[in-house]
Amino acid sequence: MKNNIAYCGLNCEACEARIATINNDDKLRDEVAKKWSAMNGVTITPEMINCVGCRVKGVKTPYCESLCPIRQCAINKCETCGDCDKMETCEKVGMIIKNNPQALQNLKAQADKREVAK
């Protein structure tokens, strides 16, 4: 599976923060910062909107770098949550996979590929 699939199964390639970073798009950074600030009830500045992806080396948003409980749990344990036998009952990744069927499909595809490779 591509490294642009986050630990939680979300597709980092579609993330506006990653798109703004890859394209060095300050206008998009500003738009994303405003949208995410309103959505999360916290102040997010355009300078915080820099991320190349959850599982690749490089810059991350402050949340993705050190606050995301899913990333913090998985970073030293597995390639993605799809490799974890507790995925289906995990509260950390549960909100993502409950609300995003594509993320769950990505994680299951990850697990299936691992089984085939064995």
Question: What are the 10-residue block averages of pLDDT along the chain, 118 residues in total?
Answer: 83 96 98 96 96 94 94 93 91 93 89 64
What is the longest distance spanned by two Cα atoms in the chain?
A: 46
Q: What is the pLDDT of residue 109?
A: 85
Query: Which ranges of the chain does DSSP label H, i.e. alpha helix?
Result: 16-22, 26-40, 62, 69-74, 91-99, 101-117
Q: What is the pLDDT of residue 54?
A: 92
Q: What is the pLDDT of residue 75?
A: 93
Q: What is the pLDDT of residue 74?
A: 95
